[in-house]
Structure 1
Amino acid sequence: MTARDEEDTARVTDGPETDWTEANQRYLSAALARVRVRLERHAAKEPREPAPEEEQALEEAAAALPAPAALERLRTLFQLSPFERDVLLLCAGMELDATFAPRCASAQGDPRRPWPTFGLALAALPEAHWSALSPSAPLRRWRLVEVGAGDTLTASPLRIDERVLHYLAGLSHPDERLVGVLEPQPPPDMLVPSHQTLARRILVLWAQPPKEGFPVVQLCGPEEADTRAIAAAACTAQGMDLYRIHARGLPSGQDEIPLARLLWREAALNGGALLLDCHGLEPGDTGHMGAVLRFIERARGPLLVSGRERLRIPGRAVSTFDVARPTPLEQRQLWSEALAPVASASPELIARLVTQFDLVAPAIRDASAGTWAYGGEEELGRALWEACRARARPRLDDLAQRLEPAAVWDDLVLPEVQQQVLRDVLTHVRHRSRVYETWGFASKGARGLGISAMFAGPSGTGKTLAAEVLAHELRLDLYRIDLSQVVSKYIGETEKNLRRVFDAAEEGGAILLFDEADALFGKRGEVSNSHDRYANIEVGYLLQRMEAYRGLAILTTNMKSALDPAFLRRIRFVVQFPFPGPAERAEIWRRIFPRDTPTEGLDYARLARLDLAGGNIRNIALNAAFLAAEEGTPVRMQHLSRAARSELSKLDKPLTGVGFD
């Protein structure tokens, strides 16, 4: 039976808990009285024989306890010998009984030493042994007592640790030195069936632990909340509390061992297990990783380790469980339960949410909060959709630039073939759940289920604008990632940067726009050195994540010819954005000015003679609008002429054949 089991026995109601507290105090008082008598006998130079009255009082106090006393639990937890237990009581008496100080002074024959020492304990207490105060023995190893400054070890003052003193008195007071390091983890309100299965597997593993103790349980998954919930559920079922430590909170150096022992002591006193949270810890972080591995090696109780990646833990028995996000079916059930009070929450609405967003249980509960205030299904659907979109933003905003997609189809001037491909992209995104899940394509394998697109063409031909149109149509966030900033010269850093982006985007299914794909892609030649080999690995990793990403990932490039055909085959859609001809440029000029912008006398056919892409046309229109605003007139051809000269000068192109002169 664990310490938690014994506590639960006593804490069925307020009455039994109060009874145990009072009985525990009587038992502690009787135990202290027995040690006090030992001191008196030693001062009087009497033999160290048991005192019948004190022994009988102790037995009666033990019989009155509804559950084992805190002193006996502590003795069992740390395997204290009878002498070590009495040394601990000797130190506790100094704090709880005012008569102990003069008795210690009298027993040592020196009024200047009114405190317990190891020498006094060896002389006055029965079954004494020298090894009790060695650094590896329980009293000092687990910091139950502290040795003060003195000329010799036997003459140095001894003092009980404050946390241990509270425990003996029956008070559950956390160690102040661990505030901010050790966090209690309450059991989850519920677990989805796939996670319940993992919690049961942990219980089976713990049912018959080997002689050396519980094996280390490693939970690997992308979501920190899921791993914590499974760990807490398993511990609760085992009758243990769970306490979380973040890997970055572990010290290194000379403070490493003392803190580790305090942590394990606290877990033991509370009858609990520890969860070492390694989420956010990178494998290349050798400093923290070393502290993590050493902490695991020194584990002296039930330990669970959570993180995205598996750790290689030498010298310990380790059982690893992979924790996936809730399945689409489980997410539907979570949404149904969260929206049960809302009559307008139809199965179709829930299906749309599950299709787009990959949320864990706490996120679904948060997104559903306050939905009772919305009336019809359309209003409810918009509110839930926006709440789900907002869930992923804090994680992605630190890694990429969020673009506000305001562009619509009418803003996009492209040949019909390219527009049709873009509409096909929309079709795949909208109906992927039906095709993959309902129609069973996902059961044939997860490879290639991600929706990826390549937008190729000269600068300013509308690649980013097309991405905005798709995001606007799908009502999704659009994030632009500059691959030239993501790619690193250090081995492994590029993959780490890409992993952060995809992990952050997975929850909300945002559209990822990877600009400057040329920075990473290129024709693969022969591998002549290690840099070539790792460059190919980086490209392969990006394509692998794109194929597995449940949202839409778009790559843009100015040079499609520079891309390896083997890579292009792994991208589902390729859209070539041509440089606009005169007819397309005239159409762009007609659409470039917002409806509220005043214009006068614009000759679109003449403007179309400017051999420029859509991006340059937009710059000219915007600059001309400022010139007109300064003059307080509508936008006219003379404003566009000045703006065009400025834009063409940047491109080193002459303003000829247009008729502006």
Structure 2
Amino acid sequence: MSEAARALLHRLERLRTSVAALVAARSADDPTAGDPLRGLYISPETATRIVNAPAPQLPAPDGPFTPEPGDRLTAVAAGFGLTVLDELILLAALAPDVDRRFEQLYGYLNDDVGRRRASVALALELAGTGSYDPVARGRLHPAAPLVDGGLIVVEDEDRPLPGRALRVPERVVAHLLGDDTLDGQLGDARVELLAPVPGDESATADGLAARIAHSPRPVAVHLRERRAGSGADAVTAALRGAGRPVLHHRPERAEAATARLLLREARLRGAGTAVVVELPQDQPGPYVRELAAGDVTVVFAGTEPYDPGWAPDAGLLALEDTAAETAPLAAWSEELPSYEGDLADAVGPYRLGAGQVRRAARGARALAGFEGVPVGLGHVQKSARLLSAPLLDKHARRVRPAVGFGDLVLPDEPLALLHELAGRARHRDRVLGEWRLRTGGGRGRGVVALFAGDSGTGKTLAAEVVAGELGLDLYVVDLSSVVDKYVGETEKNLERIFSEADRTDSVLLFDEADAVFGKRSEVKSSHDRYANLESAYLLQRLEAFDGIAVLTTNLRANIDEAFTRRLDLVVDFPFPDVELRATLWRACLAGVPQEAGLEAELDACAKEFELAGGAVRSAAVTAGYLAAGRGSPVTAEDVRTGARREYVKSGRLVPGVGAAWTP
């Protein structure tokens, strides 16, 4: 038996003495005391006795009570601000939940064998007062600590207060008996109990998080994060490093009922327990008001700005998250000390907080252990990508990159610019953050590039290559789900995309970007004015963008010059010359069985047919299907047939033929 259970039973034995005295007093002048049907009906004699009986006066137990070691009721009273009267009421209410003998005794004292819990009148009588005492009745008011704190539930709302039953939730009874298991209702609500990790100095590195963790008194803080979860993770780590348990809540919806359960759990566990909440975006006002009680350290973290209307009287501190201002390379190095290679280069594209880094590193180690190999670049990228995957599927199509720079056939200049684009994405935190090369005006740390060139020159492929090089997913924005005929809806859809891309790690691709990033025009009608408003919104949003975006266009001249000024890089994709076209043909057919002497034919096709890379690939696919249909290797005629069909598709004259060739 635990010390807590032993101490509680000692208290209940003391209560049983009071109950026995009350039973003796009731039965002494009760003519129906021996009636086996007592409590099932009220006889005239019983009614007369009730009318003539004086008001009950039972003194409280004599002498001061000295709690035994492990007594949790005293600690609960301190944590919830209970009075001595509150303690006695709580003890009387929970007695049947621990010792079933009280059920029968309470049934007798309630004059109803079916009512085996303490009524309000009975609990107050056992506490030495009665339901005639306004102060005693006030201890069961909805705003009183016993009820408001969730320690007691006053049932039977249709009855008068003295006859209402008192119930103690099972979580409270279990805690008083020594059970520290998390409330099952909180587990269902996505609450995690995190034990303290004292002595973890790395967890308290961030100054703001350390100040919250070591505050001499409970504080309520709203922490606005640059990235979802980064600030919450930093504060959680700091609190645990300071030796404090943390209740970490990631609610799908912010409900006041869950906040009350959280507050009760924190108070039951003691003054050092803190609550860290990753706030959702759906009207968290009632939740915040309920949880910001002032006697428990509570940190509300979220990307949305603080709204004073949430809890105007709570005295919340509105602070900005500083944990994401610098790249957490130290946390990566600490978690992966044996990583072979340039760790800074591998993790540069990921903007994760310290806590997220630790989870990603654990995932990378587990994945490498499963494969039986040392932790490598692929393990780190896969684990980090899972933590930072955006939720853009409604407005964008996800592409898991499966190509690299070896698959690109481009001149040296655009190839070098693509490498520079990947480098900018990796090192932006160092250059714009540590080296302070970011301009003012609220400009973000985003990397935005424009890929310009004719159709089929490799712009989309290049975006996929850059994403694959960075270990990120590519999201191709679906313009049909973004552009809306109603005024203002297009901007709302774009804002959802930009906001999600800001908070997570991915490469955003706006294919055919001139549809939304086109030039502004002179206002001649209301349509022109609203179109210009859309462009103005995009100009402002690009300034504050924190993610990685690629715009592609076939006509660079259609892009507004104001957008061009905000671009980090402009990469021109030239139409391939003869040498590049020959290389493209060989690259597309590299894995295909070929007849002898096909190399010379590929050089001839490169000279005769002026095709871009996309058209060359389509022609190679056609040649492959023709060969597969015959069950033989690809021949020169297959290649020429594919090239001619691409000419016909574009409406061009086939070389060596007087008119458009028809297959």
- What TM-score comes out, normalization by structure 2 length? 0.76
Correspondence for 1:178 among 177, 180, 186: 186
- The corresponding residue for 2:618 is 619
Offset at 1:144?
0.9
Name whichever structure is richer in helix by fraction.
1
Offset at 1:629?
2.4
C-alpha contact (below 8 Å) 1:328/1:354 kept by paired residues: no
> How has the CA–CA distance of structure 1 residues 654 and 396 changed in structure 2, closer, same or farther, with 3 Å as cutoff?
farther
* 3-state SS of paired residue (1:247): coil
Deviations 1:213-263 (A, max 9, x none): x434435241526523413533673x6532123332434xxxx4x444333
Offset at 1:537?
1.8
Query: Quick one: which amino acid aligns to residue 245 of structure 2?
Result: D
Deviations 1:174-208 (A, max 9, x none): 4333332232123468464774422332146x425
Correspondence for 1:393 among 377, 381, 385: 385
* 3-state SS of paired residue (1:369): helix
Gaps (5+ residues) in structure 1? 1-16
- The corresponding residue for 1:337 is 334
Deviations 1:306-325 (A, max 9, x none): 12233313203222333345
* 3-state SS of paired residue (1:460): coil
> How has the CA–CA distance of structure 1 residues 427 and 564 changed in structure 2, closer, same or farther, with 3 Å as cutoff?
closer
Q: Distance in 2 between matches of 1:480 and 1:639?
A: 35
Query: Quick one: which amino acid aligns to residue 29 of structure 1?
Result: E
> How has the CA–CA distance of structure 1 residues 623 and 406 changed in structure 2, closer, same or farther, with 3 Å as cutoff?
farther
> How has the CA–CA distance of structure 1 residues 515 and 572 changed in structure 2, closer, same or farther, with 3 Å as cutoff?
same
> How has the CA–CA distance of structure 1 residues 175 and 542 changed in structure 2, closer, same or farther, with 3 Å as cutoff?
same
After TM superposition, list the pairs within 5 Å mapping 1:198-347 onto structure 2: 198-203=208-213, 206-208=215-217, 214-218=219-223, 220-224=225-229, 227-231=232-236, 233-234=238-239, 237=242, 240-251=244-255, 256=256, 258-271=257-270, 272-278=273-279, 281-282=280-281, 285=282, 288-296=283-291, 301-314=296-309, 315=312, 316-325=314-323, 331=329, 333-340=330-337, 342=338
- The corresponding residue for 1:55 is 62
CA RMSD after TM alignment:
4.1
Q: Distance in 1 between matches of 2:538 and 2:569?
A: 21
* 3-state SS of paired residue (1:481): strand
Q: Distance in 2 between matches of 1:357 and 1:407?
A: 20
Deviations 1:151-196 (A, max 9, x none): 5443344333322323333433443333322321234684647744
Query: Quick one: which amino acid aligns to residue 55 of structure 1?
Result: D
C-alpha contact (below 8 Å) 1:82/1:127 kept by paired residues: no
C-alpha contact (below 8 Å) 1:202/1:217 kept by paired residues: no
* 3-state SS of paired residue (1:30): helix
Offset at 1:573?
2.6
Offset at 1:538?
2.8
- The corresponding residue for 1:456 is 452
* 3-state SS of paired residue (1:167): helix
Q: Distance in 2 between matches of 1:370 and 1:175?
A: 30
* 3-state SS of paired residue (1:555): strand
* 3-state SS of paired residue (1:597): coil
- The corresponding residue for 2:608 is 609
* 3-state SS of paired residue (1:27): helix
> How has the CA–CA distance of structure 1 residues 613 and 149 changed in structure 2, closer, same or farther, with 3 Å as cutoff?
same
Correspondence for 1:29 among 7, 13, 36: 13
> How has the CA–CA distance of structure 1 residues 264 and 97 changed in structure 2, closer, same or farther, with 3 Å as cutoff?
same
Q: Distance in 1 between matches of 2:8 and 2:583?
A: 88
Query: Quick one: which amino acid aligns to residue 198 of structure 1?
Result: L
Offset at 1:268?
1.5
Offset at 1:619?
0.7
Offset at 1:530?
5.4
- The corresponding residue for 1:9 is none
- The corresponding residue for 2:177 is 169
Offset at 1:420?
1.8
> How has the CA–CA distance of structure 1 residues 306 and 413 changed in structure 2, closer, same or farther, with 3 Å as cutoff?
closer
Q: Distance in 1 between matches of 2:97 and 2:163?
A: 19
Offset at 1:329?
7.4
> How has the CA–CA distance of structure 1 residues 413 and 116 changed in structure 2, closer, same or farther, with 3 Å as cutoff?
closer
Q: Distance in 2 between matches of 1:276 and 1:105?
A: 44
> How has the CA–CA distance of structure 1 residues 49 and 356 changed in structure 2, closer, same or farther, with 3 Å as cutoff?
closer
Identity %: 26
Offset at 1:96?
3.5
* 3-state SS of paired residue (2:154): strand
Q: Distance in 2 between matches of 1:300 and 1:222?
A: 28
* 3-state SS of paired residue (1:445): coil
Offset at 1:562?
0.8
Alignment of 1:78 onto 2:83: no
Offset at 1:588?
4.1
> How has the CA–CA distance of structure 1 residues 482 and 597 changed in structure 2, closer, same or farther, with 3 Å as cutoff?
farther
> How has the CA–CA distance of structure 1 residues 38 and 658 changed in structure 2, closer, same or farther, with 3 Å as cutoff?
farther
C-alpha contact (below 8 Å) 2:223/2:301 kept by paired residues: yes
> How has the CA–CA distance of structure 1 residues 37 and 161 changed in structure 2, closer, same or farther, with 3 Å as cutoff?
farther
- The corresponding residue for 2:43 is none
* 3-state SS of paired residue (2:317): strand
Deviations 1:618-641 (A, max 9, x none): 211210121022223443343244
Offset at 1:612?
3.4
Offset at 1:431?
8.4
C-alpha contact (below 8 Å) 1:193/1:330 kept by paired residues: no
> How has the CA–CA distance of structure 1 residues 428 and 614 changed in structure 2, closer, same or farther, with 3 Å as cutoff?
closer
C-alpha contact (below 8 Å) 1:607/1:658 kept by paired residues: no
Correspondence for 2:342 among 342, 349, 355: 349
* 3-state SS of paired residue (2:252): helix
C-alpha contact (below 8 Å) 1:101/1:114 kept by paired residues: yes
| Farther off after superposition, 580-589 or 448-457 | 580-589
Pairs aligned (count): 596
> How has the CA–CA distance of structure 1 residues 32 and 226 changed in structure 2, closer, same or farther, with 3 Å as cutoff?
farther
Correspondence for 2:416 among 410, 423, 430: 423
Q: Distance in 2 between matches of 1:217 and 1:436?
A: 25
C-alpha contact (below 8 Å) 1:405/1:471 kept by paired residues: no
C-alpha contact (below 8 Å) 2:542/2:566 kept by paired residues: no
- The corresponding residue for 1:412 is 409
- The corresponding residue for 1:7 is none
| Farther off after superposition, 552-561 or 82-91 | 82-91
Deviations 1:54-111 (A, max 9, x none): 534x63x53xx346x3233333333444444333332223333444344435445566
Alignment of 1:655 onto 2:662: no
